[in-house]
Amino acid sequence: MHKATGKVFKIPENLVHASDLIYKYKDEIASKAYYKLVNSNTGEPLRVIDHIGCHYAKMFPDKGIGGAEYPRVLSGLVESLGGKVIDYPERRMCCGFGFRQYLLKSSRGYSLSCTYKKFKAMEPYKPDLIITNCPGCNYFLDRWQYVISDIKGETYGKDGNGIPTLTYEEVAGLCLGYDPWDLGLQMHQTAVEPLLDKMGINFKPSEKFKGYSGKQLDKPKIPELLKVY
Alpha-carbon distance of 162 to 133, in angstroms, equals 19
In a domain, residue 49? The reply is yes
In a domain, residue 217? The reply is no
DSSP 3-state of 151: helix
Whether residue 171 contacts residue 76, with contact meaning beta carbons closer than 8 Å, is answered with no
Whether residue 88 contacts residue 125, with contact meaning beta carbons closer than 8 Å, is answered with yes
In a domain, residue 18? The reply is yes
In a domain, residue 220? The reply is no
Alpha-carbon distance of 76 to 164, in angstroms, equals 19
Full residue range of the structural domain in which residue 26 is found: 14-207
- If one counts the domains in the chain, the total is 1
Angle, alpha carbons 46-50-53 (nearest 5°): 160
Cα 49 off chain centre by: 9
Residues of the chain with pLDDT under 70: none
In a domain, residue 223? The reply is no
Residues 6+ apart with CB under 8 A from 19: 56, 73, 74, 133, 168
Single pTM value for the model: 0.93
In a domain, residue 216? The reply is no
Alpha-carbon distance of 34 to 36, in angstroms, equals 7
Q: How far apart, in Å, do the first and last CA atoms of the chain sit?
A: 46
In a domain, residue 103? The reply is yes
Largest CA distance in the chain: 60
In a domain, residue 6? The reply is no
Residue 89 dihedral angles phi and psi, to the nearest 5°: -55, -30
CATH number, residue 197:
3.40.50.11810
